[in-house]
Amino acid sequence: MKADDAATQAGPAAAPAPPAPPAPRADWAYFVDLDGTLLDIAPSPADVHLDEEVQTLLTELSEFAGGAVALISGRSISDIGSLISEPCLPIAGQHGLERRDATGRITAHEEQSNGLERAAGRLEREVRKYSGLLLEQKGLSLALHYRAVPELAGHVHTVMRRLCAELGPEYVLQEGKRVVELKPAGKDKGVAVQEFMREPPFRGRTPVFLGDDATDEYAFAVVNEENGISIKVGPGKTGARFRLKDVRAVRRWLDTR
């Protein structure tokens, strides 16, 4: 068999992996996810701690970029604030449902019903029924984690889809790494990037987003539209233009400024 015939039978070649990003620049605006990007994922969100290396990295990156650095995470702002030592660092929490801008002003999505309260009661019963499930109540959203029991993935997704359908179009599901989150519609990490980019010190800069999860694809799409630097951390299909291998690679890259 000829080589070209064998290649034809093997099917189309896989798309090339995204390349490593260019070196950081001082005139960029940096948006960074936490878990799986700056920090290794732990068995539960409560097991994560920011080490001194990350604290220093965030401080130095903010100074380098003139303050144009924000954390954009599924965690709540209060949760992130308990981890970091930078009290004025801009943050978008709960996938953009709440946001602290560069002036320290906090804005939050207003839930229009008591849907989350009802949903929490249902999910608490699921947690009691299945050992290993973890319900995280963030205030504006609910996350059902199955990191400890990945065999329950199908059940968790089914329960969350049914619950979201019952609550109606005011709510949506956000899927992540062994977690499904129920939240009000209308906000995501991409929207958070857009909101920051309309404000100083981010306005007029090239946006950069680093993230590892499906929740970060919204931000990648926004950054790509602005011809920015979208960086996927770790393996998996992505719309990002660049890739870094893991958390350690992210830290090394940010430290090359």
Other C-beta atoms lying within 10 Å of the C-beta of residue 27? 10
Question: Residue 201: phi, psi to the nearest 5?
Answer: -90, 15
Amino acid at 175: E
Q: How many CA atoms lie within 13 A of 193 on its CB side?
A: 30
**How many residues does this entry show for the chain?**
257
Give residue for tokens 């009802």.
Answer: 118
CA 13 to chain centre: 30
User: Is 29:197 a contact under the CB 8 Å cutoff?
Assistant: yes
DSSP state of 37: T
DSSP state of 96: G
Q: Which residue out of 33, 188, 212, 216 is catalytically annotated?
A: 33
Q: Would you call the peptide bond into 201 cis, given omega within 30 degrees of 0 as the criterion? A: yes
Sheet holding 28-32, edge to edge: 106-108, 98-100, 91-93, 69-72, 28-32, 206-211, 229-233, 242-244
* Separation of alpha carbons 100 and 80, rounded Å: 11
Examine the residue annotation and report whether 33 is marked as an active-site residue of this protein: yes
End-to-end CA gap in the chain: 51
Q: How many CA atoms lie within 13 A of 88 on its CB side?
A: 8
So which residues are the catalytic ones? 33
